[in-house]
Structure 1
Amino acid sequence: MKRTHHCAQLSKADLGATVSLAGWVDSVRDHGGIIFVDLRDREGITQVKFDSALREQAARLKDESVIGITGKVESRPEAMVNKNLPTGEIEVDATEVVVHNLSETPPFPLTDAGGDKVNEDMRLTYRYLDLRRPKMRKNLAVRHRATKSVRDYFDGQGFYEVETPALFKSTPEGAREYLVPSRIHAGQFYALSQSPQQFKQILMVAGVEKYFQIARCFRDEDLRADRQMEFTQIDVEVSFIDREGIYALFEGMLKKVWKDVLDHDLPTPFPRLAFKDAMNRYGVDKPDTRFAMELVDLSDTFKNSGFKVFQSTIANGGAVKAFNGKGLADVTQGEIGALEDIAKSLGAKGLAFIKVEKGEWKSPIVKFFSDAEKAELTQRLNLEDGDIAFFAAAPWERACAILGRIRLEAAQLLVKRGKLTLRADQWNFLWVVDFPLMSYDEERGGYAATHHPFTSPVPEDAALLDSDPKAVRGQHYDVVLNGMELGGGSIRIHQPDVQEKIFKDVLKIPADVVESRFGYMLRAFKFGAPPHGGIAFGLDRMVALLCGTTSIRDVIAFPKTQRAQDLMTQSPTSVTEKQLKDLHIQTVMPE
């Protein structure tokens, strides 16, 4: 029995036609002498009618059984028309049925509402059932359309799609790597590629000029809603391009994807925000700009304050920052306690706040403020009845980070109270630019690349590499959407002497280590390396936002849990002694 149509295809135009359908039993309804089955495939649902001749076979069917039917297309009685279905005006009167597979009762309902109430571990254990739910099928379809749109866009721009190796060499900087032992070379290891970064730069040296790849990448990181140990990125590198060219190229890509997938016209160009401004105003380098509650620097206000906590912080080179949680004065003691715990986890000693209720300021710290300080706070924070101001006093970067996180938590409390709406279909894109090229790693006692060591310095800052590396800006850029970093990249170093200087003089990587990890790149750059730059977009994150979910597990067919397990296949697992022996490995269990 061959399928002639899918289950969302038939209409009144097909009345009288003999058709064959195949799919899963979505529901069975016994109306006495007639049994009705909603037959479902990937595309939709068609109602099938079984009369007395096939009643015995139809009565055996259970939800999620797989069947094929042949029958004649008929009009539904007027009272039975379902206007919510594309096929709601017709039904198929079955003349033949083949039962391909009778299903056991699923462990949870395969509806969106039913599945959403189930523990995620259960859904992931039975992922093949979870993926039958309409929402999950839609997510996979969105992922397909988005990926196809990306490929079509770059093909139209003259790019080559080039695959790079998954098995690479270990270059232990950045995230922890997955190591793969070599059977042939005893005691030596490959590493699963964290990113095609070095390969795509080599492709620029090779004259490819325009490269892209839908690349699988691997990082042995702690997992969370927007992070998986194996993930997919849209990886791109271009020769003879500057930052403005990158911005235009990728705004064009995103504009096409949003139009193809959502039929939405994104306004371009995207706003741009310098890293320092993002931190000062939002406390984070990936700000959610769908709501205000911007941070205000009050260091000038409190530099001579009688409140010693603020005054001494400023005297020691720190900052006092605050923001107005507009309308959140009704925050409970329990919620304040939870916010304080978050602040302490980020290095704060506590979380100072001022509530304004019925014209009265309520806070343990108010008694330390002068009338002039109160007046300035009122004006600069726009404090009104029903508001609450949160404060952080710490080194600048830490003060920003503390309040940046509290700002996001405060927004969620306002959403919970119905006082703030964060629409998933409000697309606030922006570029964050002018990142510092280097940061100082106190623990290591040296400089570390903020992005990666191949990022080119902003030309007018390059002279500061010797005297003040922290003051050097990198040609590095991130694309942010609604508080989520979608992608990041940079204009790369293409001069071997500059790259060698970064490795040896700034990052202080020993010469033998530079040779071991990057020697082939430095040699390649001596054979006519063009200026080049690129970016990597998180495909999983982009699709999650297109689907209106914050968890990338919802848009990956077979994800791992937050404990890095695949519950469906029950991996990872132990292996045999012979397998270990073949790879010249012995395992040592942790104490």
Structure 2
Amino acid sequence: MRTHFCGELNKKNLDQDVTLCGWVNRRRDHGGVIFLDIRDKKGLAQVVINPETIDTFKLAETIRNEFVLKITGKVIARDNEMINNKISTGEIEVLANHIEILNASKPIPFQLDSMETSEEVRLKYRYLDLRREEMQKRLRLRSKVTHFMRDFMDKNDFLDIETPFLTKATPEGARDYLVPSRTHEGGFFALPQSPQLFKQLLMMSGFERYYQIVKCFRDEDLRADRQPEFTQLDVETSFMNEDEITSLMENMIRGLFKDLGDIDLPNEFPTITYHNAIKLYGVDRPDMRIPLQMVDVNEIMEKVEFKVFSGPANSENGRVAALKVPGGASISRKQIDDYTKFVSIYGAKGLAYIKINDDGPSSPIIKFLGDEVTQKVIDLTGAKTGDIIFFGADKSKIVNEALGSLREKLGNDLKLFNKEWAPIWVVDFPMFDEADDGTFNAIHHPFTAPSVSTEALLDNPGKSLSRAYDLVINGSEVGGGSIRIHQSDMQKTVLKLLGIGDEEAREKFGFLLDALDYGCPPHGGIAFGLDRLVMTLSKTESIRDVIAFPKTQTAACLLTDAPSSVSKSQLKELNIKVTLPTKN
């Protein structure tokens, strides 16, 4: 239907007859001459319709934005004063001699170039939203990312192998999406939270290097960088240790950023232990672009009369930490109140501070701490005139989350970034998270290998470390993996520590436990969140911006109005009865 793409025309095409197809991006009527900006996947071309072409001009008068047209005309040079250097076709235009309306458009519910359109409207009319240039760029970038990944994996002898979507429900950290079976009455499939068990089985099958770009499903609380269905690059290898796996994947990420973003990441990514990440930054995914660190001040605060500090300082599970912000003394009282409300989201009961002014330190809490303790805090944090010190004092978990999140917010608000890109590996995660009742939960998943023997694990499970590793870029966890358990006794031990007895283990993981007894090789892997990687590369703040048809934060699709009810006949086939809660 077309001879050229709109965005590919230039002065080399002068005097050529061309046929273009696309959407009307904008229509302008200038003193009897009509201009149409025609848009296709390659860009824009300006089309001119003169009144001398009577029929064509009459038709052009009826055309509006987002009409789909086929236009035939001649490429001519623009007048010098009309050249548009902002677009690649800005030196030429097409003088139309024939226009065919392929399809008309109703007035669209929002302007594509408007910055005021709500996300709710954008998602409801996603097919219009995706016409916007920035959305087109993001999805093209996504396509290039997956192409690069496939090419890299192929060059490194990995096989692309598909795994099932309809599988067995297994505990992997979030609720499963369940699919009722019509042929097995009362039975349910589960959509996979990841291909974890299948990729381990592939290692036991002798494939040694597997990958897959795959959909995963998790019914969990959502936020800006989460979706109920998401895509990941899934990787598993045999006979490779964690250093070999992370080194290989680091090469892929480094090449990906260079090839697609002309971004030079470090030749070797730095590494930090989980313990130090929490101690210094409050989170296990630290944004290393922000040069702020938390400092423990427990010892200084143990004997102060200020119970807000001395209480946590003397508690086994408490922490008092300080966060120095260079130049922060200029932060206003109102801003401090806003930050106090912010940390309250994480359970903090307040946000104490000390400002270091020209005439010395000032704060409502100095009278409770005394000059000597105040000076010790200033010395320990290295605070200078013009700085501010924020404090967190509570249970360690609350302090870490509150001050860690405040650190990131301050970094954004005050533009404290000292570099543009900061990848880092986080290693030496705890094997388990111990609940208040003494039970254990897996930090990653139940198939992660510990860094100790079975005997040592049983002796002190709460202090044992795992062979897990996460890749964090600019404060976003873009990938995570581990060396897996490859011996049956160790796997049974871990399951028992997680409260999964032999009978339950056999019911849920019998096929895996059996496979471990038939010559299972040492193996490990990693998964990269494709959505988060593209989000990071495109410098947007939500993965919904890099997914063609995402769900809302309530896991709904505004475009198709899903989830929705189904017919009684469908439910009857599945032997399912829906009981809705009664309304008060």
Same fold (TM over 0.5): yes
Tell me the residue number matched to 2:523. Answer: 532
Amino acid paired to 1:214: I
- What aligned pairs does 1:221-300 form with structure 2 within 5 A after superposition? 221-300=220-299
Aligned pair partner of 2:81 in 79, 82, 93: 79
- What aligned pairs does 1:306-345 form with structure 2 within 5 A after superposition? 306-317=305-316, 318-345=318-345
Distance of 1:30 and 1:272 partners within structure 2: 60
Instruction: Report how many residues are paired.
Output: 578
Q: Is 1:471–2:463 an aligned residue pair?
A: yes
Q: How far did residue 527 of structure 1 move? A: 1.0
Distance of 1:406 and 1:14 partners within structure 2: 56
Aligned pair partner of 1:487 in 464, 468, 479: 479
Q: How far did residue 162 of structure 1 move? A: 0.9
Tell me the residue number matched to 1:197. Answer: 196
Tell me the residue number matched to 1:406. Answer: 406
Q: How far did residue 368 of structure 1 move? A: 2.3
Q: How far did residue 205 of structure 1 move? A: 0.4
Distance of 2:307 and 2:118 partners within structure 1: 49
Tell me the residue number matched to 2:211. Answer: 212
Give TM-score, length-normalised by structure 2. 0.95
Tell me the residue number matched to 1:520. Answer: 511
Which of 465-474 and 299-308 deviates more? 299-308
| Alignment CA distance shift 1:340-1:32 (3 Å) | closer
Q: Is 1:105–2:102 an aligned residue pair?
A: no
* Percent of residue pairs bearing the same amino acid type: 46
Q: How far did residue 33 of structure 1 move? A: 4.3
Counterpart of 1:466 in 2: which secondary structure?
Answer: helix
| Alignment CA distance shift 1:12-1:406 (3 Å) | closer
Distance of 2:5 and 2:140 partners within structure 1: 16
Q: Is 1:388–2:401 an aligned residue pair?
A: no
Tell me the residue number matched to 1:439. Answer: 433
CA RMSD, Structure 1 to Structure 2 (Å): 1.7
Q: How far did residue 371 of structure 1 move? A: 3.2
Tell me the residue number matched to 1:499. Answer: 491
CA contact (8 A) 1:464 1:471 kept: no
Amino acid paired to 1:109: Q
Q: How far did residue 327 of structure 1 move? A: 2.3
Amino acid paired to 1:294: Q
Q: Is 1:62–2:61 an aligned residue pair?
A: no
Counterpart of 2:383 in 1: which secondary structure?
Answer: coil
Distance of 1:466 and 1:186 partners within structure 2: 41
Aligned pair partner of 1:580 in 571, 574, 578: 571
Distance of 1:173 and 1:386 partners within structure 2: 48
Tell me the residue number matched to 2:363. Answer: 363
Counterpart of 1:168 in 2: which secondary structure?
Answer: coil
Distance of 2:209 and 2:299 partners within structure 1: 50
Amino acid paired to 2:249: F
Counterpart of 1:373 in 2: which secondary structure?
Answer: helix
Distance of 2:78 and 2:555 partners within structure 1: 50
Amino acid paired to 2:240: I
Tell me the residue number matched to 2:421. Answer: 427
Amino acid paired to 1:353: Y
Distance of 1:236 and 1:213 partners within structure 2: 7
Q: Deviations over 1:47-72 (max 9, x none)?
A: 11222222111111111100011222
Distance of 1:30 and 1:451 partners within structure 2: 61
Q: How far did residue 244 of structure 1 move? A: 0.7
Distance of 1:396 and 1:120 partners within structure 2: 36
CA contact (8 A) 1:465 1:472 kept: yes
Distance of 1:27 and 1:173 partners within structure 2: 50
Q: How far did residue 422 of structure 1 move? A: 7.5
Q: How far did residue 408 of structure 1 move? A: 2.0
Q: Is 1:455–2:448 an aligned residue pair?
A: yes
Amino acid paired to 2:432: M
Q: Deviations over 1:182-238 (max 9, x none)?
A: 111111111111100001000100111111111101111122110011100111001
Amino acid paired to 2:423: F
Q: Is 1:37–2:36 an aligned residue pair?
A: yes
Q: How far did residue 335 of structure 1 move? A: 3.5
CA contact (8 A) 2:291 2:418 kept: no
Counterpart of 1:68 in 2: which secondary structure?
Answer: strand
Which of 467-476 and 363-372 deviates more? 363-372
Q: Deviations over 1:393-422 (max 9, x none)?
A: 23434332221122223333324xxxx357
Q: How far did residue 562 of structure 1 move? A: 1.2
Amino acid paired to 2:428: D
Tell me the residue number matched to 1:166. Answer: 165
Q: Deviations over 1:556-589 (max 9, x none)?
A: 0111111221111111111111111111111121
Q: How far did residue 477 of structure 1 move? A: 0.4
Which of 241-250 and 254-263 deviates more? 254-263
Distance of 1:171 and 1:23 partners within structure 2: 49
- What aligned pairs does 1:12-161 form with structure 2 within 5 A after superposition? 12-51=11-50, 52-53=52-53, 54-111=56-113, 114=114, 116-161=115-160
Q: Is 1:548–2:539 an aligned residue pair?
A: yes
Distance of 2:336 and 2:32 partners within structure 1: 63
Distance of 2:31 and 2:112 partners within structure 1: 26
Distance of 1:343 and 1:17 partners within structure 2: 64
| Alignment CA distance shift 1:571-1:375 (3 Å) | same
Distance of 1:173 and 1:59 partners within structure 2: 60
CA contact (8 A) 1:145 1:260 kept: no
Distance of 2:236 and 2:422 partners within structure 1: 25
Distance of 2:340 and 2:32 partners within structure 1: 66
Amino acid paired to 1:449: A
| Alignment CA distance shift 1:14-1:457 (3 Å) | same
Counterpart of 1:432 in 2: which secondary structure?
Answer: strand
Distance of 1:547 and 1:193 partners within structure 2: 28
Which of 400-409 and 278-287 deviates more? 400-409
Q: How far did residue 145 of structure 1 move? A: 0.7
CA contact (8 A) 2:209 2:236 kept: yes
| Alignment CA distance shift 1:401-1:33 (3 Å) | closer
Counterpart of 1:329 in 2: which secondary structure?
Answer: helix
CA contact (8 A) 1:462 1:472 kept: no
Which of 259-268 and 429-438 deviates more? 259-268
Q: How far did residue 19 of structure 1 move? A: 1.4
Q: Is 1:353–2:353 an aligned residue pair?
A: yes
Amino acid paired to 1:88: G
Q: How far did residue 307 of structure 1 move? A: 3.1
CA contact (8 A) 1:39 1:48 kept: yes
- What aligned pairs does 1:371-382 form with structure 2 within 5 A after superposition? 371-382=371-382
Amino acid paired to 1:21: L
Q: How far did residue 333 of structure 1 move? A: 4.1
Q: How far did residue 99 of structure 1 move? A: 0.6
CA contact (8 A) 1:153 1:256 kept: no
CA contact (8 A) 1:496 1:522 kept: yes
Give TM-score, length-normalised by structure 1. 0.94
Could you tell me which runs of 5 or more consecutive residues in structure 2 were left unpaired when the two chains were aligned: none
Q: How far did residue 108 of structure 1 move? A: 1.4
Q: How far did residue 311 of structure 1 move? A: 2.8
Could you tell me which runs of 5 or more consecutive residues in structure 1 were left unpaired when the two chains were aligned: none
